[in-house]
Chains A and B, each alone.
Chain A
Amino acid sequence: MSTARAWREYPRRYRYEASVCRKCGKWHFPARLVCDACRGTEFETKRMGRTGKILTWTVIRVPPAPFKDEAPFAVAVVEMDDGPRITTQVADWKEEDLKIGRKVRLEFRRIQADGESGPIHYGYKAVPVA
């Protein structure tokens, strides 16, 4: 992944910056230039809350190349309390945590690296919370 591309995504991956439509109030994560609810084009940047719940999940047993050494790992679609839905890995899970409705909190984690000596890319993973 190019350095510029990784850098471009920092505001979302590191700081949870969402764009909130000034017309209809919908939260977008990642940010968009056009609101998909009302086609508004003016937004306020807000920091998205880090808590949400699992809508669906899976355990990846055949991983893509950058995640070769990590399988099996859990992935979920999470609905954030502020509204946006995201796809994220689930970290620090036990089998009973993988269920629809489970509360999670996003934490800053290592996601992948460009080979043995390239840059490490960080982002969020969902951790089950009580």
Chain B
Amino acid sequence: MRDVAIIGVGMTRCGELWEQSLRDLYVEAALKAIRDAGVDRLDSMVVGCMSSGLFVGQEHLGALMADYLGMCPIPATRVESACASGGVAMRTGFLEVASGASDVVLVGAVEKMTDVGGDEATYALATAADQEWEGFNGVTFPGLYAMMAVAHMARYGTTREQMAAVAVKNHANGARNRARAQFPEPITIESVLNSVQVADPLRILDCSPITDGAAAAILCPADMAAKLGKKRPVRILGLGAGTDTIALHARKSLTELAAVETAARRAYEMAGRKPSDIHVAEVHDCFTIAEILATEAVGFFPKGKGGPAVADGETAIGGRIPVNTSGGLKSKGHPVGATGVAQVVEIVEQLRGESGERQVKGARTGLTQNMGGTGASSVVHILEAM
């Protein structure tokens, strides 16, 4: 396999972007990444998207995006893994470059979620769970994560306040990412604890929002990065993916994300790095409890210690291992299929030293962790400045 570098990144802002269509969002992010890299050609495109069929009534995104980016006749492939679609798109692009099949690959991911109402969006998102044996009985996505929270609280003593601390931290980070974040307003523990109940014990300020957005990255062989790109390249040092049962109830443990542990272990092995080598990370905080579970699954904290760690500020900017400097899914927003690539955009900029007031000083090695459903699929990347 060839070593692979990221030589350009770009993304749209996140939010309710009434004026932009699915294709507009993808093309905006793609053009930003192409200009950031300074490349004048693409050999191939990957499109990550969870559910354009249900959100917009549009499939066949490979051809659509190649067409509207003016890139026909290059090959373009759409990939899907629920909320991990972006992560799987990165992996697909990586494999295409590493294998030697293509030299310059655009990995773009997009979700347009606000062309449908709340009910329809909730329905589309629920298709990431087991529709026959979970959804049929009325359980929602917040409901499934709420049940993981109840189990984690019972087993480890994780508290409501610790979960709220995730939201408070991520909104504080999002406030330093105003150009992109959907909800860049600082919030307090009290405001989380007093917000509307969604599924006990989760409240609305424990949940990531419905978001439009797109993100993109340009990949090429590492030994061509200096010649092709104009900015400091970032190497994809390690990458891992894994799966687990589609239904939460069938898992060996309700308090652990086995697919994330698998993906992380493979990524660390490939990179030759360990959790303590990571300087900055973006993890999949679709709900506050999810960030706690994810930081434990990627090995930043022992099982059951993710809650105390966030409450103690260990994952804040300036803490031992800053997590979700972008504001995370919670504050920056969660355009579901695009999230995995948006995480890569944040880490690449952190490793280049371009993150402004949310810059983690001296960050050279970063990690992204993206997952689908209640953790039935996950992709972890370890990135390092070249």
**Which chain A residues have a beta carbon within 8 Å of chain B's beta carbons?**
9, 30, 36, 55-67, 70, 73, 75-78, 85-89, 100, 111-112, 121, 123
Given known pairs A55-B151, A75-B143, the reply for A61 and B197 (CB within 8 Å) is: yes
Q: Are A89 and B138 in contact (CB under 8 A)?
A: yes
Q: List 14 A-B contacts (CB under 8 A).
A: A30-B132, A56-B151, A56-B254, A58-B139, A58-B150, A58-B201, A60-B139, A60-B199, A63-B140, A64-B135, A64-B140, A77-B147, A77-B254, A87-B248
Residues of B within 8 A of A9 (CB): 132
Do A30 and B133 form a contact, CB below 8 Å, given A55-B151, A57-B150, A60-B199? Answer: yes
Contacts A63-B140, A112-B136: A56 and B150 contacting too (C-beta < 8 A)? yes
B136/A111 in contact, CB under 8 A: yes
Q: Is the CB of A57 within 8 A of B136?
A: no
A100, B199: Cβ atoms under 8 Å?
no
Q: Hey, which chain B residues are within 8 Å of A88, CB to CB?
A: 137
Please indicate the chain A residues that have their CB under 8 angstroms from the CB of B122 in the complex: 64-65
Judged by a CB distance under 8 angstroms, whether B123 is at the interface is yes
A59→B201 CA distance, assembly (Å)? 8
Q: Which residue of A lies closest to B200 (CB)?
A: A59
CB distance from A122 to the nearest CB of B (A): 11
Q: If A55-B254, A112-B138 touch, does A62 touch B198 (CB 8 Å cutoff)? A: yes
Q: Are B138 and A61 neighbours in the complex by a CB distance under 8 Å? A: no
**In angstroms, how far is the closest chain B Cβ from the Cβ of A9?**
7
Number of interface residues of B (CB under 8 A): 34
Instruction: Tell me the B247-268 residues at the A interface (CB within 8 Å).
Output: 247-250, 254
Distance between Cα atoms of A124 and B325 in the complex (Å): 44
> Within the assembled complex, what's the spacing in Å between the Cα atoms of A71 and B206?
19
Q: Which of B121-148 contact A (CB under 8 A)?
A: 122-123, 126, 132-140, 142-143, 146-148
Give the complex CA separation of A73 and B199 in angstroms.
10
- Contact assessment for B199 and A67 in the assembled complex, using a CB-CB cutoff below 8 Å: no
Bound-complex Cα distance A36 to B202 (A): 32
Answer whether A87 and B137 are a contact pair too, CB < 8 Å, given A55-B254, A56-B148, A75-B143. Answer: yes
A105: min CB distance to chain B, Å = 16
**Inter-chain contacts of B200 with A (CB < 8 A):** 58-59, 61
Contact between A75 and B249 (Cβ–Cβ < 8 Å)? no
Does B119 lie at the interface of the complex (its beta carbon under 8 Å from any beta carbon of A)?
yes
- B134 & A62 in contact (Cβ 8 Å cutoff): no
